[in-house]
Amino acid sequence: MTPKKTDQNTKKINLIKDIYKQTLIDINNVRKERDKKIKDILKNIDKKHAGKILQDIKKLK
Amino acid sequence: MSLENETKQTESPLEKAKRLKAEKEARDGANAEAEAEKQATAQAKTEKLGTLNSHKQDLENQLNEIDIKIEASKGEAHETRDTMQEAGLDKDSEFKDEYDLTISEVAGNLNGLRNERNEIKTKLEQINLEIENFGINEAVSEGKKETQEAVSSADQENEEAISQVKNYPGAEAGDIKTAEEVAAETSGKINQTVENSEKTVNELVNNNEKIEKGEAQELKEFKDFKDFFEKNTEGINGSKGLSANEFLKNYLSEKYPKMDKDSQEYNDKWTGIALASKFNNINESPYIKSKYSKGLDFEEFKNNRKELTEKSNLFNVIGKVKAQMLEKKTETQEYQKNIIEKIKSDEKYKNEFTENFKNNGFKAGDSELINNLYAKGLISIDDVAKGLAIYEKEGISKLRNLSPAILENLNQANINTGDGQKLPFKILLDKYAKDENTHPSLETKNWPEMTLAYAAPAAFATRIAGKRFSNELAQVWNENFKQLTDKIVAKGPECAADLVKNLGGNLEQSILTDKRLKIIVGQYAKHRFGKIGGNNGEMVAAETSRRLENLVEAGVMTREEIDNIYERALE
């Protein structure tokens, strides 16, 4: 392999590694975003649930 | 306050020590495991590359073996054909079918070997590509594996997230639906991310240009210099008698007026433009155009300038020699055509020509003319024999270019010796074959190739003599010649150049006598073409190329064989 080709391959390998590294970062960001949305859903359920209990308590009074 | 912190506050120092110890052991264990996995992966890679290289070596060996087999098969095929043609089997209706069958058989054998060679070559090219791209393929495969693991984890988490919402106290159908939508959206985004990255990686793997950093500074500067040159040479004044160096000096003075002419920067600009100019020229060369369809890359030129320039020069030299030889051949054909026409129409000229030939022998390249004249009945076999006899020993070497029709009838020819006697032509051959000075000696230990050089024409003569006149001596000569050739072939490349040099004009006869010497010719050419970068390199290459072209002309090597030799030198 010529020095030029070796150099080109090294550059390619590094770029490929960088691309996959970035892909993993992007996937993790999407996962975090999902976790946040799920947490919000759960918070919302809690909120609705708490509101319902409060209403029930008011009715009892 | 979190549960974890509460636990930490209530643990005793001993408990804390135990917990920390366990934590450290777990971390060390995980690190060791990761390290072991890393080493196992590296080991697997090394083994995989080793297997590929070993496979490559096997294929290269197979290719060498098949090349030798092909050479031997070609030699055998030619000899088979010659043997049958010499006996006239191709023209005898009783043997014609057998002749055709045998020719088909040898051609079939040769084609079988060539097909086998092509298959091996294809496999070798594939394996070379795999080796060349090994690092890239490994990086892609590793990246894909890690990405796939992340995608699988994300899918699993999506399922868990939906379940978590489903099982959450107070969750309603709308909440579950929203969670499912979030999971689907996540999955879609991740798939899109993976698809995009795969697309980018594929483009990168298949396209070298993506990673180039754009046009090199030297080329940009050269373009500016060219514009300056064109602008300053417009009109009737042309270059105003200035040299290229003077133009370059003026250009740099105008563009960089404050730059110190003794500075490194100035020197770099100067050499950069000169280099770009050379790059521009070589990119226009026929060699680069034939090898690099998209043009040569500047970086590659800078890294391999010497090799590329040498190969480009060699390509030009070979092309020039081929063109010269073609021109010479056309001239010769024209010359022969004129002489034949004149001999046909002018009886006086015909007699003068014949007398001249009988007394002075062949002019260079006249063998073909004599063949043509004999075929057309314009010269007798006695006259041809007389023309040969004047050479005595050297007459043997003239035989090799004569047609089978002449060789067939030479034993009927008689030579007028000048004292009224007529001698059968075979005497000349016997005399030569018995000459002790030309007998190949197996005792010459260091330079058997020197002996071979002397032995070649003698072996050729006795080969003819043996076939035409049943001379027992031919058997001895041929056997000795074979043994000498065995020695030469066994010595291999180290003696190739000396051998071909010493064989000189006898090279063609040597190859005719033993086709294995073609291998030596290839080694010789490689050695000589390798000198292209040295003093008189182009002259040496031209001389070598001429010698190779002569072998095609003499019909002892094919156009394809010689072109293969050129191709290998330019690889």
Give ipTM to 2 decimals: 0.91
* CA dist list (Å): A13 to A17, A18, B79, B99: 6, 9, 55, 60
| Residue B253 reports pLDDT greater than 60 | yes
* Minimal C-alpha gap between A51 and chain B (Å): 11
* A25 has a chain B CB within 8 A of its CB: no
* Minimal C-alpha gap between A58 and chain B (Å): 19
Phi, psi of B422 (to 5 degrees): -125, 125
For the record, the structure tokens of B423 come out as 């001698």
For the record, the structure tokens of B297 come out as 């890359």
pLDDT of residue B22: 94
pLDDT band at B211 (very low <50, low <70, confident <90, very high): very low
For B413, other C-beta atoms within 10 Å of its C-beta total 21
For B512, other C-beta atoms within 10 Å of its C-beta total 20
- A contacts of B303 (beta carbons < 8 Å): 2-4, 7
* B189 has a chain A CB within 8 A of its CB: yes
Q: Which residue has the higher pLDDT, B328 or B465?
A: B328
pLDDT of residue B412: 72
* B203 has a chain A CB within 8 A of its CB: no
**B165 to chain A: nearest residue by CA?**
A42
For the record, the structure tokens of A4 come out as 């030029």
pLDDT band at B99 (very low <50, low <70, confident <90, very high): confident
The whole-angstrom separation of Cα B104 and Cα B287 is 38
- Could you write out the DSSP letters of every residue in B518-554? HHHHHHHHHHHHTTTTSTTHHHHHHHHHHHHHHHHHT
pLDDT of residue B192: 93
pLDDT of residue B384: 85
Check: CB of residue B266 under 8 Å from CB of residue B252: yes
Domain with A38, as residue range(s), is 26-61
Question: Which residues of B, range 141-160, sit inside 8 Å of A by Cβ?
Answer: 142-144, 146-147, 150-151, 154, 157-158
* CA dist list (Å): B112 to B64, B67, B115, B117: 16, 12, 5, 9
Cβ A20–B147 below 8 Å, yes or no?
yes
The whole-angstrom separation of Cα B497 and Cα B502 is 9
Closest CA to B71 of B520, B384, B535, B410: B520
**What is this structure's pTM?**
0.50
Cβ A45–B170 below 8 Å, yes or no?
yes
**B185 to chain A: nearest residue by CA?**
A34
Closest CA to B250 of B229, B274, B271: B229
Q: Which residue has the higher pLDDT, B493 or B300?
A: B300
Phi, psi of B415 (to 5 degrees): -105, 130
Q: Of the spans B184-193, B265-274, B292-301, which averages the highest pLDDT?
A: B184-193
pLDDT of residue B4: 47
Tokens 């105003």 correspond to B240
* B1 has a chain A CB within 8 A of its CB: no
The whole-angstrom separation of Cα B376 and Cα B370 is 10
- A contacts of B189 (beta carbons < 8 Å): 30
| Residue B541 reports pLDDT greater than 80 | yes
Phi, psi of B411 (to 5 degrees): -70, -15
A55 within domain boundaries: yes
Cβ B143–A3 below 8 Å, yes or no?
no
Quick one: DSSP state of residue B363? P
A7 within domain boundaries: no
Nearest Cβ partner for A11 among B165, B200, B211: B211
Check: CB of residue B201 under 8 Å from CB of residue A24: no
Q: Residue type at B332?
A: T
**Average pLDDT along chain B:** 81
The whole-angstrom separation of Cα B416 and Cα B424 is 9
pLDDT band at B441 (very low <50, low <70, confident <90, very high): very low
pLDDT > 90 in chain B, percent: 21
**B190 to chain A: nearest residue by CA?**
A27
Q: Which residues of B67-106 are buried (b: 16+ CB within 10 A; e: fewer)?
A: beebbebbbebbebbeebeeeebeeeeeeeeebeebbeeb
Q: Which residues of B15-39 are buried (b: 16+ CB within 10 A; e: fewer)?
A: eeeeeeeeeeeeeeeeeeeeeeeee
Coil, strand, or helix at residue B475? helix
Check: CB of residue B336 under 8 Å from CB of residue B373: no
Cβ A45–B299 below 8 Å, yes or no?
no
pLDDT in tens, A27-53: 999 999 999 999 999 999 999 888 888
The whole-angstrom separation of Cα B191 and Cα B187 is 6
Q: Which of B287-296, B438-447, B469-478, B490-499 has the lowest mean pLDDT?
A: B438-447
Cβ A19–B194 below 8 Å, yes or no?
no
A30 within domain boundaries: yes
pLDDT of residue B442: 44
Closest CA to B322 of B557, B547, B556, B530: B547
- Total structural domains in chain A? 1
**B136 to chain A: nearest residue by CA?**
A13
User: Would you kindly state where each structural domain of chain B is located, as residue ranges?
Assistant: 28-206, 217-280, 346-410, 433-570
A47 within domain boundaries: yes
- B contacts of A10 (beta carbons < 8 Å): 135
pLDDT of residue B212: 45
Please, which residues bridge with residue B423 across strands? B415
| Residue A12 reports pLDDT greater than 50 | yes
Check: CB of residue B55 under 8 Å from CB of residue B127: yes
With residue B414 as reference, give the H or E element that holds it. Answer: strand B414-416
Q: Residue type at B184?
A: A
Tokens 């057998």 correspond to B98
A-B contacts at Cβ under 8 angstroms? 121
Angle (CA) B498 B500 B505, round 5°: 130
* Minimal C-alpha gap between B285 and chain A (Å): 20
**B301 to chain A: nearest residue by CA?**
A4
Closest CA to B300 of A54, A8, A37: A8
Tokens 């949305």 correspond to A37
Check: CB of residue B381 under 8 Å from CB of residue B406: yes
A9 within domain boundaries: no
The whole-angstrom separation of Cα B120 and Cα B466 is 41
pLDDT, average across residues B67-74: 86
* A7 has a chain B CB within 8 A of its CB: yes
